[in-house]
Structure 1
Amino acid sequence: MKHKLLFYIGLCLSLHIYSQTNCESGFAGEYPCNDYDLMSRVPVSILANNLGTPEGSDIWGWTDPTTNKEYAIAAMTNSTAFVDVSDPLNPVYLGRIDTENGNTSFWRDVKIYNNHVFIVADNVGAHGMQVFDLTRLRSVTTPQTFSPDAVYNVVSSCHNIVINEANGVAYLVDCKNTGRGVHFVDISDPVNPVTLGNYNSEGVTHDAQVVTYNGPDTDYTGKEILIGSNETKVVILDVTDKNNVVKISDVVYSQLAYTHQGWFTDDQRYFLLGDESDEQSFGINTRTIVFDFQDLDNPVESSTYSGPSTAIDHNGYVKGNEFFMASYRAGMRVLDLSNVGAATNSLSEIGYFDTHPANNGTGFNGAWSVYPYFSSGNIIINDIERGLFVVRKSGTLSTTEEEFKNQFSISPNPANINPTVKAKQNEQIRSVAVYNILGKKIFFKQNINQPEFVLPLENQSKGIYIVKINGFVSKKLILR
């Protein structure tokens, strides 16, 4: 019986969510870490469809303004997956949107505006931009394959999408049929996108950030400023008037190989840039270049951060005084920005969670991107081979949640008979829901209002289940 139980546990873990593992002595399970715990993981096999050989790519997050639930939007090479991560220990896969034309892509990128997600894909032919109303996720009870609410077909294949949420305009970059610069789209009515033209005077725009400027250069206060990572340079554009884009300046740097992606500090004074090929081309360690943008007409290189390994840096985002960088084989690295203006040692690493435990070498595996903006403190990472990770700074998981968890128990567990949920002290069991490994609700009962409740699971298959008590506390149950 013991061997059979281990088999079923292994089978379920290969298909389902890997649950909380604290970072202790430099590891969270198999994953190297420093000050970040693993909350859960959802593998590629659940997130993607079976077309081709699926991998993870971009990731973004959405917080429902009505329910405050948090959702991960995980871009895959053949689809876009939606996962409810409101309970970081027990994420629930809700479904996916498949690629628009039935072909797989090397990359897929997503961004959010007005409760809609906008999805582009690269090297995939006539994909266009898919638009999906995220409020549809509120009513999902079983995983679904969704259809988009709209598809914008003026573009075919685009590498990335940028949205300045303050103005309702999407900036699609490196679109193969519109000049490979920047393509402007009015998305103020999300399901009825309107073309606003193109800007192609500065070559290929690989990635960008667009802000309504409120930084130190008062000449541009209130203007829409685009910072483009344009393969061979960083370009600063005034894109306030889409029919009259004005180039402000550009800047290059030493050991330039492929200008990939960057992000402003919150005060819009400094810009942190990653070059995706310098580690390979020059044999250097992970490098983040800091530019001083105090004068947008005259940007200057301020300092350089060198990481502890030769891993390639990919996408990075600023939140307050921290820079969260997806660094391929080195996973997520967290840098302290408190001294960003210093001439030397301007950045320092203060934590990490390595989603690629094999090595930190120079290769295109591991963490593709990271989203650190959930108000809960949960951070989501999309890993090329291993899928969605939910991580969190060590020691910050709600003590209230932990206390509530301790008020309930399930026995026997593992169980080969119907187990009993029991409440301790003065608690009562008001409702119970049971989910299988795919997130499908297989049992639900409310208005119980008793200290004990027997789960009628005698007809269910062996495996791992999640039992949610009173709509808040989640417990893992093994049926054997």
Structure 2
Amino acid sequence: MIFSYASPRGLLLVACLLLSLSVRAQLNTELLSTVHYPVRSSDVWGYVAPDGTEYALVGVYDGVSIVSLADPTDAQEVVHVPGQNSIWRDLKTYGEWAYVVTDQGSSTEGLTVIDLRQLPDTATAYHWTPELEGLGTLRRCHNVYIDENGYAYLSGCNLNNGGMLYVDVFTEPGNPVFVGTGWPIYSHDVFVQRDTMFTSEIYQGRMGIYDVSDKQQTVFLAAQPTPFDFTHNVWVTEDGRTAFTTDEKANAPVAAYDISDLTNIEELDQFRPAATLGLGVIPHNTHVWNDWLIISYYTDGGIVVDASRPNNLVEVANFDTFFGGGAGFNGSWGAYPFLPSGNVLLADISWGLHVVGVNYVRACWLEGQVTDADFGTPLSGVHVEILDAQPNTELTNLSGQYATGIATAGTYRAVYAKEGYFPDTVSVELDNGVLTIQDVALHRAGLFTLAGLVVEDGTSYSAPYAMVVFENGTSRHEALADATGAFNMPELYAGAYDVYVGAWGFRERIIKDYVVSGNTGMYIPLQRGYQDNFLVDLGWETREDPTVIRGSWDRGEPIGSYRINGAVASPEYDNPDDLGDACYVTRNIFGDVEQGDVDGGQIYLTSPPMDLTDFASPIISYQTFFYNAGGDGNPNDSLFVRLMNETDTVLLEVITESGHEWRDSSVFRVADFLEPTANMRVEFETGDASPSHLLEAAVDVFAVSEEVIVQTAEPIQTVQWRVYPNPFHDVLHVEYDFDTFNSQPRLELRNLQGQTLATHQASPYQGEWRLPTNLPSGLYLLQLWDGNRLLGTEKVVKAR
């Protein structure tokens, strides 16, 4: 039966301006128009009618959308061909016909054949579901490719174990004829050129290469494993000398291979987007046009890579279709770069079709060798970076060779760095389409031992079991202090480091650009108090109910998870104003929120014990992130925060409001809930109640502070002082009368969490203090100090 379809489903949203303001990345591209669908999209292909009109054919959940690009700045759906519901559709054209496959467990459409001859007015379609002798009835396939001779190659079908099926679509256009089968090895995708077939044998983890000149006798030629053993897609250059593959795995690359000699296939390079390196982004499909790769890169959108030097793959254009970040199976599914206009079609899973103009440029290549300056030997593992707004990164290989580049010509600084060597920065002139050779020799850095002591600021008491981290761009070294606060770094190369120090019962500290130049000692004072930005492990305890299916409290730099529409479900970053880049977050893994949220029970995060008896009025503060959505019915999960001492447990708050950002700080006075004792803890509990919903949570910037710190070393002497005006704008006047100062008086301005925001060395009797202009309005604590003696505290208000 043949079905005829004419009118579209109604005017779809064309949101060029909205999307151009919302996309996250755009290099050498221009958004021309979009077509938004109310259902999911999958792959996309193009078609050019005899009158020269270009069309986009988009696989959508409920069929195929045919979009006129007569005006590429105003793309319009002209025909919708209904189909069975499926999140997988693949499309190709030959002549004036389109051939579509659907891959869902219940699919029965076989090969859908669409007559495009009556566009833009109508299109007719039918489903080819032949009963193939010795095989069975064709019901579904994962992919289809049509070569230059008019043979269609069906892969991942319900027949032949998912191996290839060969179909003649040229002898009688619109009437396919089955002509043979390939090897019975499941193939996820396929590319054919000049009777050589390249299969993506995803479960074998390899690219298969076959001679299909005789459709009755497929001949195996070669196979090549791909980097992540999950070969999803293969495309080959026009000259047949280079193949490019994708593995549909988090952090997998697009790989390039020299296939000029099938008995000796050689990997040439691997490409990963530097902007999202290590964040779990997944490559999907790559195509080759004029030695450029046009890649649908899921949450990174569409990426164009110059592959004319296949040993040095360089990103030269991109357009991010996905509103969120992070990783998972969201964003750009397919890309089509073969229209005569040069425009690229991108199909985004949650949004729909994007028509994008691309400024194709050749890369500015930078290549060379890095050696040891003393011995001339090649250095592997040297980090090479061109300092530019376009992210880029490269490591030298075992021969010390590197190959990198950027998209925009200019004069740049290139930095070469390796642990154990002093870094070098070189000025380089880069031009599009030009290879610049830059060899570099690095000088060895000395290797030293550093011993240190972490103590309480202002006293001789130690800060026991402090965690000390030395970190720079090439290395990270950790040491745990002993009970006396002493630590030892036995092997530190000369150079500058950022030093992170934390100990429970003290406020964390970062020392920037600390220079190691010899066997030296280091003295690190920490202020008393409880603070944890989670940049080091200070001993929080985590546990889960036995019923938990998945989910835990994980400490680290948050990766971020997103809904299919791009909505943030767990944070991609920790609080930007705290120390370091870590927090505690539920199940910090790559992927969709559906794969990484908490399921099946409650999970708990509990602080180490706190002695709050030395505080006059302790205040607990922290920040949280809480997301709860999806599922059946209204979301019903919570984040509970409790305070505990030796005998009692009280509830500080219950968070049920779902959001996409870090919440404002929660602040509680301990005495309002429990009497401060020597063994107190804070616990965060969350979990997935029945019926199940999506649940993510995070905790950061934990602190205990107070308005006045009890001084036990010396009694506070009476001081009379006056602060005006109060409220103030930018200037405070301070007058005080005190008999004896042991040192120059000092003024400190603190927030209610006890953090010191500004310090001022005051005159002996009175003075004026012009405060930072970026100080937000609100309540602050002004303290007057004589050395380590706190003489007085006044509440002051910064006016709006």
TM-score norm. by structure 2 comes to: 0.41
Q: Is contact 1:116-1:133 (8 Å) kept?
A: yes
Alignment partner, residue 298 of structure 1: 264
Alignment partner, residue 22 of structure 2: 30
Question: What is the 5 A alignment of 1:466-477?
Answer: none
Question: What is the 5 A alignment of 1:319-358?
Answer: 319-340=289-310, 342=311, 346-358=312-324
* Greater strand fraction, Structure 1 or Structure 2: 2
In structure 2, do the counterparts of structure 1 residues 381 and 162 end up closer, same or farther at CA, with 3 Å as the change threshold? same
Is it true that 1:126 corresponds to 2:118 in the alignment? Answer: no
Residue in structure 2 matching 1:148, options 122, 125, 149: 125
- The alignment partner of 1:195 has SS state of strand
Is it true that 1:157 corresponds to 2:150 in the alignment? Answer: no
Is it true that 1:386 corresponds to 2:384 in the alignment? Answer: no
The answer for unaligned runs of 5 or more in structure 2 is 1-9, 132-137, 362-800
Q: Indicate the larger mover: 325-334 or 183-192.
A: 183-192
Residue in structure 2 matching 1:59, options 37, 44, 57: 44
Residue in structure 2 matching 1:311, options 278, 281, 306: 281
Sequence identity, in percent? 29
Structure 1 Cα separation of the partners of residues 344 and 338 of structure 2: 7
Structure 2 Cα separation of the partners of residues 338 and 301 of structure 1: 15
Structure 2 Cα separation of the partners of residues 237 and 77 of structure 1: 33
- The alignment partner of 1:167 has SS state of coil
Q: Is contact 1:180-1:200 (8 Å) kept?
A: no
In structure 2, do the counterparts of structure 1 residues 161 and 395 end up closer, same or farther at CA, with 3 Å as the change threshold? closer
Question: What is the 5 A alignment of 1:57-456?
Answer: 57-64=42-49, 66-99=50-83, 103-123=84-104, 124-138=106-120, 140=121, 146-149=123-126, 151-154=128-131, 155-164=138-147, 166-188=148-170, 189-201=172-184, 203-212=185-194, 224-231=195-202, 232-256=205-229, 258-277=230-249, 279=250, 284=251, 286-308=252-274, 309=276, 310-340=280-310, 342=311, 346-359=312-325, 361-393=326-358
Q: Is contact 1:129-1:153 (8 Å) kept?
A: no
The amino acid of 1:269's aligned partner reads R
In structure 2, do the counterparts of structure 1 residues 395 and 373 end up closer, same or farther at CA, with 3 Å as the change threshold? closer
Compute the displacement of 1:330 (Å).
Answer: 0.4
Compute the displacement of 1:251 (Å).
Answer: 1.2
Compute the displacement of 1:78 (Å).
Answer: 1.9
Compute the displacement of 1:63 (Å).
Answer: 0.8
The amino acid of 2:14's aligned partner reads I
Larger CA Rg, structure 1 vs 2:
2
Alignment partner, residue 36 of structure 2: 43
Q: Is contact 1:117-1:134 (8 Å) kept?
A: yes
Structure 2 Cα separation of the partners of residues 89 and 302 of structure 1: 39
Q: Is contact 1:249-1:298 (8 Å) kept?
A: no
- The alignment partner of 1:29 has SS state of helix
- The alignment partner of 2:298 has SS state of coil
Structure 2 Cα separation of the partners of residues 337 and 267 of structure 1: 13
- The alignment partner of 1:89 has SS state of helix
Q: Is contact 2:234-2:246 (8 Å) kept?
A: yes
Compute the displacement of 1:265 (Å).
Answer: 1.8
Structure 2 Cα separation of the partners of residues 255 and 211 of structure 1: 25
Q: Is contact 1:330-1:354 (8 Å) kept?
A: yes
Alignment partner, residue 430 of structure 1: none
Structure 1 Cα separation of the partners of residues 360 and 262 of structure 2: 40
Structure 2 Cα separation of the partners of residues 31 and 14 of structure 1: 23
Q: Is contact 2:254-2:271 (8 Å) kept?
A: yes
Structure 1 Cα separation of the partners of residues 238 and 323 of structure 2: 32
Q: Is contact 2:297-2:332 (8 Å) kept?
A: yes
Structure 2 Cα separation of the partners of residues 158 and 37 of structure 1: 34
1:84-107 CA-partner distances (Å, limit 9, x unpaired) = 0121111121111111xxx31130
Compute the displacement of 1:149 (Å).
Answer: 4.9
Alignment partner, residue 18 of structure 1: 15
Name the count of aligned residue pairs: 337
Structure 2 Cα separation of the partners of residues 152 and 133 of structure 1: 17
Q: Is contact 1:237-1:245 (8 Å) kept?
A: yes
Structure 1 Cα separation of the partners of residues 16 and 20 of structure 2: 11
Compute the displacement of 1:30 (Å).
Answer: 0.6
Structure 2 Cα separation of the partners of residues 267 and 158 of structure 1: 29
Structure 1 Cα separation of the partners of residues 89 and 127 of structure 2: 17
The amino acid of 1:119's aligned partner reads V
Structure 2 Cα separation of the partners of residues 293 and 273 of structure 1: 12
Please report the RMSD computed on the Cα atoms of aligned residues, expressed in angstroms. 2.1
Compute the displacement of 1:329 (Å).
Answer: 0.4
Structure 1 Cα separation of the partners of residues 228 and 107 of structure 2: 33
Q: Is contact 1:127-1:156 (8 Å) kept?
A: yes
The amino acid of 1:183's aligned partner reads L
The answer for unaligned runs of 5 or more in structure 1 is 1-12, 22-26, 46-53, 213-223, 397-480
Structure 2 Cα separation of the partners of residues 115 and 199 of structure 1: 27
- The alignment partner of 1:97 has SS state of strand
1:124-147 CA-partner distances (Å, limit 9, x unpaired) = 431111111211114x1xxx6x54
Q: Is contact 2:115-2:124 (8 Å) kept?
A: no
1:225-251 CA-partner distances (Å, limit 9, x unpaired) = 000110121100001101111000111
Structure 2 Cα separation of the partners of residues 31 and 339 of structure 1: 30
- The alignment partner of 2:112 has SS state of strand
Structure 2 Cα separation of the partners of residues 200 and 270 of structure 1: 23
The amino acid of 1:30's aligned partner reads S
Structure 1 Cα separation of the partners of residues 224 and 70 of structure 2: 41
In structure 2, do the counterparts of structure 1 residues 153 and 29 end up closer, same or farther at CA, with 3 Å as the change threshold? farther
1:141-192 CA-partner distances (Å, limit 9, x unpaired) = xxx6x5405634341110000110x212110001113320000111111222
